Structure 1
């Protein structure tokens, strides 16, 4: 019998497939106590399962390339670190040897114990790490069961299937996407979660908050995932299938129409030129940016060179990567962000501080770079050498105060002097800018502008810090909303301060590539957007429908909003959208 299950759209699209339920908490395990003669054999099985889980993550990391690698590798690294955590491993061994637990039972007990510890933490970022622990241990349990029951592999890649789960790790989603996964329905989750962001980058339709999905949908049920209306249709009728086919035809036509915009100018309806840059880190990203008509690279992430290394990349390795990037853009400007490790991005060389109480507020970004001046200077030398091959700007992440920019400028000056003594060609000028993602930097931006040639707003972290809300925590969705008045006023302050100082301001966070926020950013006065290269055509198309002068005339009105609901209603009114919620704003486009 046909059944409709409502959900929240996390990634637009539609898919028709067979349901595949993933309920890792329901793994069946043997809870009988171990006999003394079984302990060593079971320890061996446990260690083998742990190694299988490590190997799977290594293999997955090796298969990922380009933007997909950027989206997923930080989570693979975090999961790999957990699998090598001495406390976790020692606890498991003790439970088997001393407590006589069988490996599966020990893993579940450890999972539940650690989840409770994280759940009880006051810090929202650390509390959200509970999901990482659960996903890692569930992977080991799955590996353990596959040793004896290969047919029970829970997350095997199945062509033509829609995943039904409470939540799914980004690494698992990437693994399944490469094998034909059609879409995802989550019984919980947030439209701002890392998995939702990845789904949008992969073009996979996704619903979250589909509360009854795991109880009402069964394996092999035919499901129509309608992430345009925000519903999952179980046992769709002929009429539902006709609607799906019509959507497919429309999507094909729309894709062809957008493709024609690749070489079109980027202008608003009233003729104002807007710059659209690409976020990139690989040659594939650069090629896509060129093909979509990007105005340049607005954010090049250099940390991938460090994350894929067991040690530190040499100056020449970095120079070649940066040079190829600059040459690949064929004379278009490139913004290279200096090393942005820390928080949930840990390198194998050991630069990142381990065991910080709150890594999101710890030694990361420029704080980490200044802690290791020799490593930072090597990167600076490589950037200076590459900047001779085309226009380059340098972006410094996680800046909090002017002293940090002064220190970075000093290191660039010293590196330039060294290279001059070595008779190496250098660029005449190299603009240096700050990434505005710390509230203190945004509030005190006028002081920073004295030491910056440009600014780039990183809205992902800035929103989390301003609102004290983890974007991946679905319980905080009413708080984590880019239309929060305090956040809008801070964005407006940064953009207007840059304009008054006659220094460029771009925005490279997730909302830059979400067409549902394009009008908002024009209202706030933004002229430079940087986004996933796959979003450029949609944003260019959206800009052509908007009158910038009209939108700017309503900036004062919008900034007087008291609540995000009020701001949302105002924006809908300003843009002529009277269809109620612009729901659109809650999880549609792709994100950084």
Structure 2
């Protein structure tokens, strides 16, 4: 039966695939006794589920090769033998035909009986094999719970997988596409979580806030994920599949149109030059940025060098990563953000000083770097060494006062002096910038700007801190509003301050990646955007359709607007 799950489209795109649950389904067991007329039909359901589970195991076995076949093959063979075990099968069908148990209830009872036998064994190894019983019965329960038709199973066998989970850690996202994952569906999380941001940069469709997904979806169910509409269709119909095919054709046509803009200049309709930079953290981001005609890297997130590992990267490892980044951009400017980890992520790397009740307001960003001077110096030395290979700007996250910027500049000077004395080539001049994501820094920018060379606005955190709404809390998604009047006032003040002091201002939060916000940001005076590289062509297209001079005249009215509807009405006149 077709089911539509509503969620929030965190990353756009439409994908057809088979479900892969990160945690087992919570099977609902119907324990009402069978009526005599239902017995044989229920026995047939059970037989079909057993055959489906057996065929799945055979398919997995056939795909295994080499060492993997030796290591995992014996477990699959053991599970296949259990599915053919006469005692298991006889007991199951007796429970259905004589005990009038429904198939799911019979599986549960037989599993409990066999588990008790294994638990009573003296041999520890044999006792441990009770897990095989759990796995086998769970596979049959999953097959029993599915409502897939033969045609749907045939389609599912030809497509990739869609991950269904409560939430996905950012570090896990990078491995998904290599594992054949086409999309992600989360019951929790939010569209502004780090994982969602990474999904957008990877062009991986993602739905968050699909609260019922784990209760409704089973392994190998056919799913249609619509990131544009924020929907997951379970057991899609022929009409859904026709819509999917049409979407694919439209996407290909639009992709060809946008591809023509890859090396085109970014200019508004009234011929104003706009600079589009790329956010990056993976090697693929750099290649895509070059291919899509980015003006440089506006934000390189270095924390991905520190995650998912048991030791901290040393100077040489960091230097090689930064050097390759600079060389990959072929002389275009690269902005490297210093380590931006909080206690929620730093703990896994051994960096966290203490467990914090509120990591978002704790020892993170430059605060953590200042508390770990040796770590900060190591990273700074690596960045400065890479400066010999191309233009680098250094960006400091979570800045709140001038002291942090003064201390960072002194560290740069010390590290540069030491490196030169050691015989390393280092650039003569460095631009040092502050990430404006704390309201205090935005308000005090007229004082702070004297100590920096450029400004980068991080709207993701600036919005959350200004509105006191956790961007990772899906229950607060309506409160987390980048178009809140207070946010627009802050953005306008930051941009005007940069203009007054002749310091470049860029915006590298998610607002820059969303073409719907492009006219508004141009109206506020922004000329430097930094976004995930996959959004470059779409934003360039949006810029080309805007008349900046007309938009700038609307700025006073936009700043007086009380809500989204008022903003739309004003922008519609541009």
Taking structure 1 as the reference length, the TM-score comes to 0.70
Query: Do the aligned residues in 2 keep the contact of 1:470 with 1:480 (CA within 8 Å)?
Result: yes
Aligned to 1:149: 135
SS in 2 for 1:472: coil
Aligned to 1:571: 567
Query: Do the aligned residues in 1 keep the contact of 2:200 with 2:532 (CA within 8 Å)?
Result: no
Change (3 A) 1:362 1:259: same
Task: State the 1:445 CA deviation.
Answer: 0.7
Instruction: Select between 197-206 and 336-345 the one with higher mean Cα deviation.
Output: 197-206
Task: State the 1:183 CA deviation.
Answer: 3.8
- Tell me, in whole angstroms, the C-alpha distance in 1 between the residues paired with 2:188 and 2:347: 31
Deviation readout 1:515-535 (Å, 9 max, x if unpaired): 122222112211111111122
SS in 1 for 2:322: helix
- Tell me, in whole angstroms, the C-alpha distance in 1 between the residues paired with 2:175 and 2:314: 31
Change (3 A) 1:343 1:524: farther
**Which is higher, the Rg of structure 1 or of structure 2?**
2
Aligned to 1:363: 363
Query: Do the aligned residues in 1 keep the contact of 2:192 with 2:460 (CA within 8 Å)?
Result: no
- Verify: 1:455 aligned to 2:455, yes or no: yes
Instruction: Select between 530-539 and 343-352 the one with higher mean Cα deviation.
Output: 343-352
SS in 2 for 1:399: coil
Change (3 A) 1:330 1:208: closer
Query: Do the aligned residues in 2 keep the contact of 1:457 with 1:505 (CA within 8 Å)?
Result: yes
Aligned to 1:305: 305
Q: How many residues are aligned here? A: 462
- Tell me, in whole angstroms, the C-alpha distance in 2 between the residues paired with 1:374 and 1:400: 22
Instruction: Select between 486-495 and 423-432 the one with higher mean Cα deviation.
Output: 423-432
Aligned to 1:520: 520
Change (3 A) 1:298 1:218: closer
Aligned to 1:549: 549
Task: State the 1:197 CA deviation.
Answer: 3.3
- Tell me, in whole angstroms, the C-alpha distance in 2 between the residues paired with 1:310 and 1:214: 32
Aligned to 1:9: 9
Change (3 A) 1:236 1:521: same
SS in 2 for 1:298: strand
Task: State the 1:242 CA deviation.
Answer: 2.8
Taking structure 2 as the reference length, the TM-score comes to 0.72
Query: Do the aligned residues in 1 keep the contact of 2:432 with 2:453 (CA within 8 Å)?
Result: yes
SS in 2 for 1:257: helix
Task: State the 1:308 CA deviation.
Answer: 5.5
Unaligned runs of 5+ in 2: 30-114, 116-128, 143-155
Task: State the 1:299 CA deviation.
Answer: 1.2
- Tell me, in whole angstroms, the C-alpha distance in 2 between the residues paired with 1:233 and 1:269: 40
Task: State the 1:196 CA deviation.
Answer: 3.6
SS in 2 for 1:383: helix
Query: Do the aligned residues in 2 keep the contact of 1:161 with 1:183 (CA within 8 Å)?
Result: no
Change (3 A) 1:146 1:495: farther
Matches within 5 A, 1:258-277: 258-277=258-277
Change (3 A) 1:367 1:168: closer
Aligned to 1:442: 442
Unaligned runs of 5+ in 1: 30-103, 105-142, 579-592
Deviation readout 1:233-281 (Å, 9 max, x if unpaired): 5554544433322221111111122222211111112211111111123
- Tell me, in whole angstroms, the C-alpha distance in 1 between the residues paired with 2:234 and 2:378: 57
SS in 2 for 1:559: helix
Aligned to 1:537: 537
SS in 1 for 2:343: coil
Aligned to 2:190: 190
Query: Do the aligned residues in 2 keep the contact of 1:306 with 1:347 (CA within 8 Å)?
Result: no
Task: State the 1:538 CA deviation.
Answer: 1.5
SS in 1 for 2:344: coil
- Tell me, in whole angstroms, the C-alpha distance in 1 between the residues paired with 2:130 and 2:461: 37
SS in 2 for 1:335: strand
Aligned to 1:351: 351
Task: State the 1:17 CA deviation.
Answer: 4.2
Change (3 A) 1:144 1:402: farther
Query: Do the aligned residues in 2 keep the contact of 1:145 with 1:152 (CA within 8 Å)?
Result: no
Task: State the 1:411 CA deviation.
Answer: 1.5
- Tell me, in whole angstroms, the C-alpha distance in 1 between the residues paired with 2:353 and 2:420: 34
Matches within 5 A, 1:207-226: 207-210=207-210, 222-226=222-226
Aligned to 1:43: none
Query: Do the aligned residues in 1 keep the contact of 2:520 with 2:571 (CA within 8 Å)?
Result: no
Change (3 A) 1:212 1:374: closer
Task: State the 1:540 CA deviation.
Answer: 1.1
Query: Do the aligned residues in 1 keep the contact of 2:25 with 2:215 (CA within 8 Å)?
Result: no
Aligned to 2:485: 485
Query: Do the aligned residues in 1 keep the contact of 2:167 with 2:189 (CA within 8 Å)?
Result: no
- Verify: 1:416 aligned to 2:416, yes or no: yes
Change (3 A) 1:363 1:158: farther
Task: State the 1:334 CA deviation.
Answer: 1.0
SS in 2 for 1:465: helix
Instruction: Select between 350-359 and 246-255 the one with higher mean Cα deviation.
Output: 350-359
- Tell me, in whole angstroms, the C-alpha distance in 1 between the residues paired with 2:531 and 2:131: 42
SS in 2 for 1:9: strand
Aligned to 1:167: 166
Aligned to 2:95: none
Deviation readout 1:546-565 (Å, 9 max, x if unpaired): 12122221111111123xxx
Task: State the 1:456 CA deviation.
Answer: 0.6
- Tell me, in whole angstroms, the C-alpha distance in 2 between the residues paired with 1:498 and 1:146: 64
SS in 1 for 2:346: coil
Query: Do the aligned residues in 1 keep the contact of 2:381 with 2:419 (CA within 8 Å)?
Result: yes
